[in-house]
A and B are shown apart, each in its own frame.
Chain A
Amino acid sequence: MKQRPMRSQPIKILVVVVALAAIAIIIPNTNSFVILLATRALAFSILVMSLDILLGYTGLPSLGQAAFLGVGAYSTAILATKYQFGLGYDFWLVVVLGILFGAALAAIFGLLAIRATGVYFLMITLALGQCVWGLAYRWNSLTGGDNGINLRARPKFGIDLANEVTFFYLVIGFFAASLFLMYTLVRSPFGRSLAGIRERELRMKILGYNTWLHKYIAFIIAGGFGGLSGVLWAHTAGIVSPENVVLTTSVDALLMAVLGGAGTLVGGVIGASIVFGLREYLSTLVPWWQYVLGAVYVLTILYLPTGLMGIPERIRQRRALTANREEAKKPVPVTS
């Protein structure tokens, strides 16, 4: 990512805050279909942003990020249905547990995966993700196998989360907090070192950075946010099934991050909103919606490698380029 002038940063933050406030005000006044859609997109966005920390800021393309969503979601569902745990104030404990489980899984997976880079990292995370999927799919006694687990009720503590507007506010609250934390992370010296590793790992090593540890910590943090996203997802969808940890879910997350623009965090939300919108809304209108989705992916990768968030930057570059050309066209005074 190119270093942007520091001046414009407060404006960008303001835009994001205003946009979030607008979403928080407008969405609850629409119909329940849109509210549910937005809740889903926001809950999933946390996973996409956690992936963006790896993909966009550290240069690690993970194809197994759904595993962390799965761990958060399954632990929420199992605690709720088998132990009636997490349906009152203890919901907050489940949130903490979900984050811890996600981070713990990432700590184990990271030991295996972090050594690899590029396409090899992609493959090993794919294999690890499939391990989790395999367990979810086949371990009937714990996970309910192919049928998954139905959560019968959402938590109730003072406020009733069964109310979809209340629940939407909870999810957008978690979303905003996650965005803020991740933004702080990538702007911190630690985040800067991650970007250094993404650009050229060897140089960072020579400069004395422990690049393995940096990547490992980034992986664990991303896993924690993935777990949080899973806890919210379990209550949003009301069902947790192997579908949530299957390879295509990881692929979806990766494509959403790229579609919105890797290395931008908020790009993940835009990508997620577009994909969820297309999938849930367009599919009710036309039978060929998946062509649109596939075409959007293919065209983005071919023509917009920096994603939708990269469009302003590209326009600026083009303008600068044409300006330069105009400059070059001016007759050069002959000095002789």
Chain B
Amino acid sequence: MNTQFWLIQAFNGVSYGALLFLVGSGLSLIFGVMRIVNLAHGSYFLLGGYVALTVIWTTGSWLLAIPVAALTIGLVGLVMERIFLRPLGFEPLRQVLLTVGFAFLFQQAALDIWSGNNFDINPPDALTKSIVVGGLYLPLYRIFMIATALAIGLVLWLVMEKTRLGAAVRATVDDAQMARGIGIDTSLVSMLIFALGAFLAALGGVIGGAFLGIYPGLDFEMLPIAFAVVIIGGMGSLGGAAIGALMVGLADNFGKALFPEISYFTLYAPMALILAVKPTGLFGRE
């Protein structure tokens, strides 16, 4: 275990964290705004990957697959929020259970449409090369993942901090009732945030599909990891999601490399401890 091992593992951890940021930030915002745990979030990740596969198979374009998949699933999220979640009003438990029902429906639909085989999303050749930095071989694709997460994170941050809509979202996260009181359409905010969350998860699915693969069951594998991100980072906080994603990405990588027998334990036990001490997460506001 020399420096090279630590550097490579750290790089892998950071790039995995970049992927987790895409999945976790949406989940975090949904929780912040609607106070619900979206258990269909892993399904959006998986469905995003599947839709991208279909686009790649029909048009051959990986670049086209990214926006199409993300927008399609974003639309699915929007419809789900409007037709099923909204009519339940503000009953978190029922809404949570409803998202599970959908997760099962999506699972079956994916099995029917895309079969139970394992697929890989192949990025363009230009991204499959590696570059050498100081004696380390760094795959370009992982650098691309980090760059994408940074870009998305920057855009989200600008929208949240600098626009009127962003201010409305932040107000809803802090106190939905008060926000309604001063004339913010929290129903509209919920709809947009839910769609955005689905969009980001699907984006993660397309990008992550290249190195995780796309297979049945990935949805419920991704879900608890996304939760770890949200919980460690704090619910409803964008910066928290970024830090949480980085920490989970690193913990997961080093855990698997150093203590393979208890690697998941090293991931979820800190998460439970953080929740026990501070239920809103490390950087959550309450």
Which of A23-31, A70-78, A108-116, A188-196 forms contacts with chain B? Answer: A108-116
Selecting from A159-167, A226-234, A296-304, the interface stretch reads A296-304
A134 & B96 in contact (Cβ 8 Å cutoff): no
User: Is A124 part of the contact surface with B, judged by Cβ < 8 Å?
Assistant: yes
Query: Which of A128, A138, A288 is packed against the most chain B CB atoms within 10 Å?
Result: A138
Q: Are B261 and A297 in contact (CB under 8 A)?
A: no
A119 interfacial contact with B, CB 8 Å: yes
- List the A side residues contacting B37 at CB < 8 Å: 119, 122-123
Is A135 a contact of B97 with CB atoms below 8 Å?
no
Which residues of B from 33 to 85 have beta carbons under 8 Å from A?
A: 35-37, 39, 84
A139 touches B112 (CB 8 A): no
Complex contact B92–A301 (CB within 8 A): no
* B273 to chain A: closest residue by CB: A112
Chain A interface secondary structure, helix, strand, loop or mixed?
A: helix
Question: B263: CB under 8 A from chain A?
Answer: yes
Interface string of A237-262 (1 = CB under 8 A from B): 00000000011100100110010000
Closest to A289 in B: B108
| Minimal beta-carbon separation of B115 from chain A (angstroms) | 12
Chain B interface SS verdict (over half): helix
Q: Is A168 an interface residue (CB 8 A)?
A: no
Nearest CB of chain B from residue A132's CB, rounded to whole Å = 9
Chain A residue with Cβ nearest B87: A302
- Cα of A251 to Cα of B43 in the assembled complex, Å: 15
Partner of A127, one of B84, B261, B263, B272: B272
- Cross-chain contact A138 with B261 (CB below 8 angstroms): yes
Within 8 A of A (CB), among B173-228: 220, 223-224, 227-228
Number of interface residues, chain A, beta carbon within 8 A: 44
Interface residues of A in 242-291 (CB under 8 A from B): 246-248, 251, 254-255, 258, 287-288, 290-291
Contact of A139 among B39, B92, B98, B262 (CB under 8 A): B262
Report how many residues on chain B are interfacial, defined by Cβ distance under 8 Å. 46
Residues of chain A with a CB closer than 8 A to B263's CB: 134, 138
Tell me the bound Cα distance from A113 to B275 in angstroms: 8
A175 sits at the interface (CB 8 A)? no
- Determine how close the nearest CB of chain A comes to the CB of B257; give it in whole angstroms: 13
Instruction: Determine the chain A residues whose CB is within 8 A of the CB of B275 once the complex forms.
Output: 112, 116, 120, 123-124, 127
The reply to whether B97 and A124 form a contact with Cβ atoms under 8 Å apart is no
Q: Closest CB-CB distance, B266 to chain A, in whole Å?
A: 8
A296 to chain B, nearest CB (A): 8
* Cα separation A128 to B107 with both chains bound (whole Å): 24
Q: Across the interface, which residues of B come within 8 angstroms of A179, CB to CB?
A: none
The reply on A36 being an interface residue by CB < 8 A is: no
| Interface residue ranges, A against B (CB under 8 Å) | 61, 111-113, 115-116, 118-120, 122-124, 126-128, 130-131, 133-135, 137-141, 246-248, 251, 254-255, 258, 287-288, 290-291, 293-295, 297-298, 301-302, 305
Interface residues of B (CB under 8 A from A): 31, 35-37, 39, 84, 87-88, 92-94, 96-98, 100-102, 104-105, 107-109, 111-112, 220, 223-224, 227-228, 231, 260-265, 267-269, 271-273, 275-276, 279-280
- List the 4 shortest-distance A-B pairs measured between CB atoms, nearest first: A134-B264, A297-B101, A294-B105, A290-B108
